[in-house]
Structure 1
Amino acid sequence: MLEKMREGATGIFAKVVLGLVILSFVFAGVGSYINSGSEVPAAVVNGEEISSLTLERAYQNERGRMESQLGELFSQLAANPEYLSNFRQQILERLVSEELLDQFATESGMRVSDEDVKRAIIETPAFQLGGQFDNERFKLLIAQSGMQVNEFKELLRGDLTRRQLSDAVLASNFTLPSEAKSALRLQKQTRTARVVKVPASLFSDSIEINDEERNAYYSANITDFDTQEKVKVEYIELEASQLASEMEVTEQEIEDYYQSNQSRYRSDEQRRVSHILVELGDDEEASLENAQGLLDIARTGADFASLAKENSADTFSGENGGDLDWIEKGQMDPAFEEAAFSLAQVGDISDVVKSEFGFHIIKLTDLKEEQVKELEDVADEIRLAIKQEKAVERFYDIQTQVEELAFEVPDSLGEVAAVANVDVMTSALFSRDEAEGVLANPILLEQVFSENAIDEKINSDVLSLGDNHIVVVRVIEHSPRRTQALEEVKMLVDAALTQEKALEAAKDWANEVKHALVETGEAETLLASKELAWETHEAIIRASNEVDPEVRTALFKLSQDDKFDVVELAGGDVALVELQEIANPEQFDENEVKSTQQRLARQIGASSFQSMLEELKASADITYAKTAETN
């Protein structure tokens, strides 16, 4: 009930934790709920709007998650407008699916109780410290997300309802023990086989290639012989962090900084308090009387934590005996704060205090006095801060001069490098895929491979690659994409054709051996002519790494009536496979059978749930707005 009282709470830690919990909401399917309405719908599902703001926030949350996971790779993907458009559309489709499920759950009469919502909140790891629910953390994170506690509860209730629907569909499917045993029998089946590998290289020496074949291969695979577009550039790079070590700081500057930033080195008085909240309700006088009665009991020496747990309307702090953790001035409701900071000693209990949330009984449980760090204790920290500030100021001064010189002397970076006091770096020719280091930055790549940069070969504008990090670049050589002539790639074509024809020859020979085995049951003479021999593999399972994947796949397709196969291996060779024996287990552990029944039921349930969702979409009235341009 006190979520508004913390709305002013700020700080780096709170913001970092908030970012983490918002991502956890995304993973749990709740991230897209932290939204408010909008007049412009991104889609309308059976008359219910999905606002553009809902889509935008879900899109930004998911994009942030992808950036944190994939880093530079996602930046490269995001440089493609078509990719981002598809990315946004996928998120919208997810929101449409959620809305359809919400509607179906409502029509089916599904509802999640208050107790279930409370339990889900308490068990959410993002709201825990040391494995225990922390009410203060919960309220801070919810307030920082721009929501009220009750609003969050209702959105969470919707998510839990959808899960209830999903669980209902999954629970409606089952498999029989006989089905599980059949699945286990196939899963645990083993096979014994003989395998002979036939290297394609055995046939390479006999391969001949004529001009007609060479021309045909070149024409059919001509794009394989395209060169990549490449550029050679010169560039200068400057970061503010490079300048910090050059900055001088006087003792007077340190003193002045300390005096001007006293609040940074002073820890305000902090108080840890617990409270019991009685809501105002319809009868305020009765609520006050109730609060006064609880106060009288507390002052007789009764256990305050137990009273809070049993009687406080703030159920989340009540779970922790009414504890609100540490508070500072400026964080709480004014009336609450005045009472809390007027308590003289740990253990003191306030009179009944009225706020916009109800009547409070407040107990002081711990106290931290105001603390001030002395100058000598923070001098090194201040010196570093001043150096960084000066470095940034110097960086922006240099950046201004760099911008002017890069424009005034467009065909050289010499003067630009001199004013920045850095070297001009020169690259080798590189393609987009070969770029490394700073040259692999998507912003820089977009610039150097642009038509203007290649044609004009003049200095770029100052490119910002991050906080206080700039680059100026100039293309000095360009190698356009082109298709290499057949004469240039003749050796490559001949090598590819030789490999291709040798593989076909190996398959033909292996099939000849197979035919001999089928007809006569003997092929040792043929194998000996190539100095090849069988390898026996016993009790091969479906997940075995003992044989090549292609051999394993072929082996489990064979039968006693058709027990030979010739397969092409990933490495470019061939294998002849002979099935010799199939072993099926007949005895199964009871627990394993039950586990398999459950797994198969889940698989069937997942398929049923997807089919249900597809049917809901097919019968729904869904209207999509024109997709907004992504950024």
Structure 2
Amino acid sequence: MQDLRNLIKPGVWIIAIAFIASIVFMYGRSAFQGERPNSLVEVNGVAISYQDFLQVYQDVYARYREQLQEEVSPQLEQYLKSQVLVEMVKNELLWQETKKAEIKVSQEELNEAVRETMRPFGSQEAFMRFLEYRHILYSEVEEDIKKQLAINKLTQAIKSSTAVTEEELKNHWITQNERIGVSYVVVKPEKYKDEIEVTKEELQEYYQEYKEDFRVPEKVKVDYILIKPDDFADKVSEVSKEELENYYQENLSYFSIAEERRASHILIQIADLTNPEDDEKAKEKIEETEKELKGGADFATLAKEYSEDSASAEKGGDLEFFTYYEMVPSFSEAVFSLEEVGDVSEIVKTPFGYHLIKLTGIKASYVKPFQEVEERLKQMWKDEKSEALAQEEANNIRKEIEEKSTSFEEYIREHPDRSNTTPFFANGKEIEGLGWLPQFNQVAFSLKAEEISSVLELLEGYCLLKLKERESSFIPLLEDVAEKTEEKLIEKKSKEIGEDIANQIAIEAEEEDLSILSTKLDLEYKNLESLKRTDWVEGMSSEDRQQFMETAFSLKEGEISKPLDLLFGYYIIELNTRELLLDNFSEQKEEFKENFLAQRREQTLNLWLQQIWEKAKIVDNSSLFFSP
């Protein structure tokens, strides 16, 4: 992975709010037993662990894969890893700066933000069930929303310090609204590849000059012993009734079913939680509803008529059964404090608004009886004992090798079913047959000759590694990369031919029309009659488009550019017309100023963030987990 500092440039900062919510979801156990860095990155002494990173990365990876509807390429995968880590470092820096500034968030601000977060789920019930499915505590979500609100206050304060002058505004208007007409010819080097012949002498000369480009990275091959818990299932002794009952008592929490309550509610939302008038209107409306209820009106009928929770209103406000932690705390406190079915709460305020809640059912908490879970208990017992036996076996093997009772090689010979050898693999790359295993990879490259690794825990079981062979980085002989070298040389030559033709066209275009020259040479020719700086040009990447626009708008009418070297070839551009309409400036001035000011504020924030990043003490261990 590239150096983290090199991944951050002014103008490309994006504050990714979604990352804050993702970071709280961690993996449970460490997969490595032995020495390794305690963190992937440290930001002013605060660690970002590999487990934290992996959880966020997997979420992002899954979203990209879903959008692409295909496998993510290795190049995109590497880019995503870099960007995820950069975003995590940025958010940590922002949070540290926010704490320094002692920025506070009010309860009303928090309630409004929570409500906005929940809005896409349609109802409070749906949101809380989503959290339960993801094994996320509501308190964690609320805390992270609170952090993000504080960060937003800080960044907003920095943005607010920006202003624009009248002259700056007018110059920016000209930049954005100026239109030009251009024509251009594209010379694509690829067109000339088939015409090129390469001699042995040229091949040798090219290889000597660029042989570093063919360097093969250092690789290792390791022998490993893998002890799988599944292999010990048959060795687990039959559990007695008494042992199983004791095991049941020790693990009652696995079989405890929390109390569930069923409730119906009437919700009156507050249009703007930060606006006292909106709060008062909602409160008055819920109080009027409460009067009708106390006057004998049917709760379900009132819910259908007045409740603003569309998901439950049509069902008479019914939320079905839920546990205490499936709803926001204030709502659950009210429901679980009601004593009898049929009781109705006082008015309750939550991030959603004001509620009246009716208790309609109670399922008492209980522990599933032993008889009901006996088979599951047996499997849990077996799995746990198998896991323990596998770990013990791996540790014993390690100990025997240390004490010279056996050797790694002897054990492999005697237990071929438990051992294997990897093919050669590079640092940070996938291992054929095993996949992407950063810890395995890291340990393999850290081993010295004759050194046996500590026990490494993988998904499949417990592993011991020994370095079998190490291939130093080397430059292969020409005969081994002749085909690849020839391809590179032809590519270089075709580019030189393309450049020569493009330069010649630029000269001849002073006397002859570009369209005629393109026809003579069978080249692509385009005429764009009206082009703004913000327009897209067909077949160009955003980076190429920017260079194309800068060159085109820098020309005078009738002027022809020097060949512009872009991704798909050399572009020779001629400026035909230039037009600037200032008629609409006055009437669109305020809206344009607002947009321009927003851009300038983002630039100010970007610059500030860049300075904070450069001053921060960042310890980057990512190269130990990822390939360069």
Which range, TM-score by smaller chain? 0.5 to 0.7
Equivalent residues of 1:406, 1:460 under 8 A apart: no
Structure 1: which amino acid aligns with 2:502?
A
Equivalent residues of 1:170, 1:606 under 8 A apart: no
Match of 1:512 in 2: 504
Structure 2 length as normaliser, TM-score? 0.58
1:453-532 mapped onto 2 (5 Å cutoff): 455-456=449-450, 459-465=452-458, 469-484=461-476, 496-497=488-489, 499-521=491-513, 532=521
Equivalent residues of 1:254, 1:382 under 8 A apart: no
1:229 aligns with 2:226: no
SS of residue paired to 2:510: helix
Structure 1 distance, partners of 2:589, 2:194, is: 49
Q: 2:524 aligns with which of 521, 531, 535?
A: 535
SS of residue paired to 1:237: strand
Match of 2:397 in 1: 402
Superposed CA deviations along residues 239-260 of structure 1, whole A, max 9, x for unmatched, are 3256558868679589747864
Q: 1:560 aligns with which of 551, 557, 562?
A: 557
Superposed CA deviations along residues 130-186 of structure 1, whole A, max 9, x for unmatched, are 257989999x988965x9x9x999978744643552564468889999667645534
Structure 2: which amino acid aligns with 1:470?
Y
Equivalent residues of 2:196, 2:490 under 8 A apart: yes
Equivalent residues of 1:249, 1:386 under 8 A apart: no
Equivalent residues of 1:174, 1:597 under 8 A apart: no
Assess, with a 3 A threshold, how the Cα gap between structure 1 residues 26 and 570 changes in structure 2: closer, same or farther. closer
How many residues were matched structurally? 515
Superposed CA deviations along residues 447-495 of structure 1, whole A, max 9, x for unmatched, are 333462xx33x654432235x7222233333332234456766776566
Match of 2:98 in 1: 98
Match of 1:281 in 2: none
1:209-608 mapped onto 2 (5 Å cutoff): 220-241=209-230, 243-244=232-233, 252=241, 256=245, 260=249, 264-265=254-255, 267=257, 269-270=259-260, 343=339, 345-347=340-342, 366-370=361-365, 373=368, 377-407=372-402, 408=404, 411-413=407-409, 415=411, 422-432=417-427, 433=429, 435-438=431-434, 440-450=436-446, 452=448, 455-456=449-450, 459-465=452-458, 469-484=461-476, 496-497=488-489, 499-521=491-513, 532-539=521-528, 542-546=535-539, 549=544, 552=548, 558-570=555-567, 574-575=569-570, 577-579=572-574, 581-582=576-577, 597-608=593-604
User: How far 1:64 sits from its partner (Å)?
Assistant: 6.4
SS of residue paired to 1:399: helix
Structure 1 length as normaliser, TM-score? 0.57
1:130 aligns with 2:126: no
Structure 2 distance, partners of 1:599, 1:442, is: 45
Structure 2 distance, partners of 1:398, 1:341, is: 52
Equivalent residues of 2:43, 2:618 under 8 A apart: no
Assess, with a 3 A threshold, how the Cα gap between structure 1 residues 538 and 55 changes in structure 2: closer, same or farther. same
Q: 1:56 aligns with which of 46, 55, 68?
A: 46
Structure 1: which amino acid aligns with 2:94?
R
Equivalent residues of 2:430, 2:437 under 8 A apart: no
Structure 2 distance, partners of 1:520, 1:349, is: 89
User: How far 1:602 sits from its partner (Å)?
Assistant: 0.9
1:100-119 mapped onto 2 (5 Å cutoff): 102=101, 115-119=108-112
Q: 1:201 aligns with which of 180, 190, 193?
A: 193
Equivalent residues of 1:273, 1:340 under 8 A apart: no
Structure 1 distance, partners of 2:221, 2:378, is: 42
Match of 2:177 in 1: 185
Structure 2: which amino acid aligns with 1:237?
L
User: How far 1:403 sits from its partner (Å)?
Assistant: 2.5
Equivalent residues of 2:160, 2:601 under 8 A apart: no
Equivalent residues of 1:194, 1:578 under 8 A apart: yes
Equivalent residues of 2:184, 2:526 under 8 A apart: yes
Structure 1 window deviating more from structure 2 (500-509 vs 153-162): it is 153-162
User: How far 1:367 sits from its partner (Å)?
Assistant: 1.9
Equivalent residues of 1:236, 1:413 under 8 A apart: no
Structure 2: which amino acid aligns with 1:533?
D
Structure 2 distance, partners of 1:559, 1:158, is: 50
Structure 1 distance, partners of 2:93, 2:238, is: 57
RMSD (Å), alpha carbons: 6.7
Structure 2 distance, partners of 1:155, 1:578, is: 51
Equivalent residues of 1:517, 1:523 under 8 A apart: no
Which ranges of structure 2 fall in alignment gaps of 5 or more residues? Answer: 1-15, 25-41, 63-73, 265-290, 300-316, 326-331, 346-356
The share of aligned pairs that are identical, in percent, is 17
Structure 1 distance, partners of 2:188, 2:615, is: 58
Superposed CA deviations along residues 31-80 of structure 1, whole A, max 9, x for unmatched, are 9xxxxxxxxxxxxxxxxxxxx9996377899746655457899xx99xxx
Assess, with a 3 A threshold, how the Cα gap between structure 1 residues 497 and 153 changes in structure 2: closer, same or farther. closer
Equivalent residues of 2:422, 2:431 under 8 A apart: no
Structure 2 distance, partners of 1:303, 1:167, is: 53
Structure 2: which amino acid aligns with 1:449?
F
User: How far 1:425 sits from its partner (Å)?
Assistant: 2.0
Structure 2 distance, partners of 1:251, 1:97, is: 59
Match of 1:313 in 2: none
Structure 2: which amino acid aligns with 1:539?
L
SS of residue paired to 1:221: helix
SS of residue paired to 2:426: coil
CA radius of gyration, larger in: 1
Structure 2 distance, partners of 1:389, 1:371, is: 25
Match of 1:354 in 2: none
Assess, with a 3 A threshold, how the Cα gap between structure 1 residues 425 and 629 changes in structure 2: closer, same or farther. closer
Superposed CA deviations along residues 198-217 of structure 1, whole A, max 9, x for unmatched, are 53436623x76858x955x5
Structure 2 distance, partners of 1:534, 1:156, is: 54
Structure 2 distance, partners of 1:513, 1:627, is: 52
Assess, with a 3 A threshold, how the Cα gap between structure 1 residues 611 and 259 changes in structure 2: closer, same or farther. closer
Structure 1 distance, partners of 2:84, 2:23, is: 22
Structure 1 distance, partners of 2:447, 2:59, is: 32
Structure 1: which amino acid aligns with 2:457?
S
Structure 2 distance, partners of 1:264, 1:411, is: 42
SS of residue paired to 1:98: helix
Equivalent residues of 2:556, 2:575 under 8 A apart: no
User: How far 1:227 sits from its partner (Å)?
Assistant: 3.0
User: How far 1:437 sits from its partner (Å)?
Assistant: 4.5
Superposed CA deviations along residues 365-406 of structure 1, whole A, max 9, x for unmatched, are 642235564666545433432332232233234324432454
